[in-house]
Structure 1
Amino acid sequence: MASATLIGATKKGTKSPDKVPSWVWALPPIAALALVFLYPLALVVQQSFQPDTGGTSLQPYADVFGSVAFREALSTTVWLAVGATVGCLVLGFVLALVIAFVPFPGGKAVAKFIDVFLSFPSFLITLALLFIYGSVGMANGLWTDVTGAADGPFQFLTTPWGVLLAEITYFTPFVMRPLLAAFSQLDTAQIEAASSLGARAPRIIRQVILPEALPALMAGGSLVLVMCLNEFGIVLFTGAKGVTTLPMLVYSEAILESNYPAACVVAVVNIGISVGLYGLYRLVSRRVGA
């Protein structure tokens, strides 16, 4: 009994070692993030204020904002991103509805293929479209073989509409994946009850399915919008003439023109638009409770 009392007194008198503060564990990832991302980003911002003549000024921004090429690239980037996002939302919602609620053979295999599709690089999808609809693709080749014409009718891949088609084709699964996850958690009893009360498919979709899918649509749509704003490979591999987006303008200014201050200005603008859209998405999602 005495020994137990002595042991208890010893334990009370001994101080437990101090625990490592939680902020210490955050230092390594923060340091790695600062090294591989924040430091190069700071260099880009710094270079955007340093013209080739030396010193620090806002002249690179004035030159870029005053150029016609920048304004055209900005408008092209915005309308392509918005158009692709709308197309992905509509097409992704319809395809996700079919996969989730219309029983057909191979439905599960199609759902799994969407996960694999997300890992494909964007230029691979563009090359596939070029093999089908390109100037020397299968569709034009079949047309020339049948009609004997010199050229086929499918020449749209080298236009903005071809870029739009390629972006919708590639980014639609990014909308379908969160939608399929939302549909899998939907209580089918609500659909059965609405159907038993005489509601038809359009009304069930509008009043039962769509409200439940709205947060997933917002998440997928915002992701597609930001990715389309920064897409480079699709525009480059389609070879669309006269289609210059902000990423393509950064490439041409830095690599082709060796105008690094101008390229950094365009990059800063592109980053600002992306971060601004992300902040807007976070604000709206909190307001609607997503």
Structure 2
Amino acid sequence: MASPGGRLAEPQAVPHAVPAAPPGRSAPAARKATTVLWVLPPVAVLALVFLYPLALVVQESLAPGAYADVFASEAFREALGTTVWLAVGSTVGCLVLGFTLALIIAFVPFPGGKAVAKFIDVFLSFPSFLITLALLFIYGTVGMANGLWTDVTGAPSGPFHFLTTPWGVLLAEITYFTPFVMRPLLAAFSQLDTAQLEVASSLGARPARIVRQVILPEALPALAAGGSLVLVMCLNEFGIVLFTGAKGVTTLPMLVYSKAILESDYAVACVVAVVNVAISVGLYGLYRVVSKRAGA
């Protein structure tokens, strides 16, 4: 088509057509329907594999009088008390030992310090029974410590038998779970402004005072997050108690195992399992709140 000046006018660009939404459905509604179609399969698998068995456990625990009988039993009360004190004791031990070791690794220069810090990350992937097995090699009835004692003294047996007691379980749990406290602490220490330490040291503050007034306040969020996680994990620990062979130590997971596998008393086992899950979920919620506030 010619322009008034005799030149051909350039063709006008035709805008791309926007595909219309299906009749009776807006574009956001169509996207939402597509998202639902993608989400349904994994949700269905999760429901079949996890939620359905969990629902069966809850249903089995609702047998008439099951909760009343379990709560009234001495075995349940002892298992609950043992579980709580082992979890709390292990958490306190992990906090003290983890904070001390993290201080040494972060602020005391020594050869191989970085390698130790990296090993902690690898240690977190170890199974708990591996640590218990190592302790059995050292302090077990026929372990190295008792073997050395009998070789030196000529005694028929060694003095180290604590692994089959609650103290052995406590030692094993502290040994295994301490790195779970150290890891967030090392991350927190790596972000600490060293100028604060230098100023405090130049003003004549002793190391203990620097730790108490400068380092500890910065480490409190990491300590809270790591301690909450360890508390949840210790509450549900099964492998350590089983591998130590501590027959007199019955925790809630061990009680579930003995009732379900050894005695085939599924109603009682399900009640104990539901109680254990309820406590664990509550503590996990606390851990998430603490971790969020700590920025972990």
TM-score under structure 2 normalisation?
0.88
- Farther off after superposition, 217-226 or 80-89: 217-226
Q: Is the 8 A contact 2:169 2:241 kept in 1?
A: yes
Could you tell which deviates more after superposition, 230-239 or 209-218?
Answer: 209-218
Distance 2:42 2:224 in 1: 29
1:83 paired residue number: 89
Q: Distance in 1 between matches of 2:184 and 2:195?
A: 21
Q: What residue identity is the alignment partner of 1:200?
A: R
CA distance in 1, matches of 2:281, 2:131: 27
- Inter-CA distance 186–44: structure 2 relative to 1 (3 Å threshold): same
CA contact (8 A) 2:88 2:231 kept: yes
Per-residue CA shift, 1:9-38, capped at 9, x if unaligned?
A: xx3x52466462395354444334323222
Alignment partner for residue 41 of structure 1, among 51, 54, 70? Answer: 54
AA paired with 2:233? Answer: M
Which range moves more in the overlay, 196-205 or 155-164?
196-205
Greater displacement, 41-50 / 249-258: 41-50
Q: Distance in 2 between matches of 1:258 and 1:153?
A: 38
- Contact kept, 8 Å, 2:224 with 2:290, in 1: the verdict is no
Correspondence for 2:11 = 3
Match of 1:156 in 2: 162
Alignment check: 8 A CA contact 2:129 2:240 kept? yes
Report the counterpart of residue 235 of structure 1 in structure 2.
241
Give 1:210 shift.
1.2
1:153-207: CA deviation from partner (whole Å, max 9, x where unpaired): 1110010000000000000001111111111111111111111122121111112
CA 114–287 in structure 1, closer or farther in 2 if over 3 Å, else same = closer
Size of the aligned set, in residue pairs, is: 279
Distance in 2 between the 1:242 and 1:174 partners?
27
Distance in 1 between residues matched to 2:125 and 2:156, nearest whole Å? 38
Deviations 1:23-64, CA, capped at 9 Å, x for gaps: 5354444334323222221111111113xxxxxx3x111111
Return closer, same or farther for 1:101/1:252 CA change in 2, 3 Å cut-off.
same
Unaligned runs of 5+ in 1: 51-56
Matched, 1:206 2:212: yes
In structure 2, give the amino acid aligned to 1:133. Answer: Y
Aligned pairs for 1:211-290 (under 5 A) are 211-283=217-289
Question: Over aligned residue pairs, what C-alpha RMSD do you find?
Answer: 2.0
One-letter amino acid matched to 1:231: E
Residue matched to 2:4: none
Q: Against the structure 1 CA distance between its residues 239 and 196, is the aligned structure 2 distance closer, same or farther, given a 3 Å change threshold?
A: same
Task: Give the corresponding residue for 1:53.
Answer: none
Identity within the alignment, %: 81
SS in 2 for 1:103: coil
Alignment check: 8 A CA contact 2:221 2:290 kept: no
Runs of 4+ aligned structure 1 residues displaced above 6 Å come to: 286-290
Q: 2:124 aligned with 1:111, yes or no?
A: no
How far residue 209 of structure 1 moved from its aligned partner, in angstroms, is 1.1
Q: Deviations over 1:215-245 (max 9, x none)?
A: 1111111111001000000000101121000
Partner Cα distance (1:33, 1:190) in 2: 50
CA distance in 2, matches of 1:43, 1:2: 74
TM-score (norm 1): 0.90
Deviation at 1:65, TM superposition (A): 0.7
Counterpart CA distance in 2 for 1:129 and 1:89 is 21
Correspondences of 1:173-188 after superposition (within 5 Å): 173-188=179-194
SS in 2 for 1:202: helix
Task: Quote the offset at 1:285 in angstroms.
Answer: 5.8
Describe the SS at the equivalent of 2:11: helix
Which AA in structure 2 matches 1:189?
A: A
Tell me how far 1:282 sits from its aligned partner: 4.2
Distance 1:121 1:286 in 2: 27
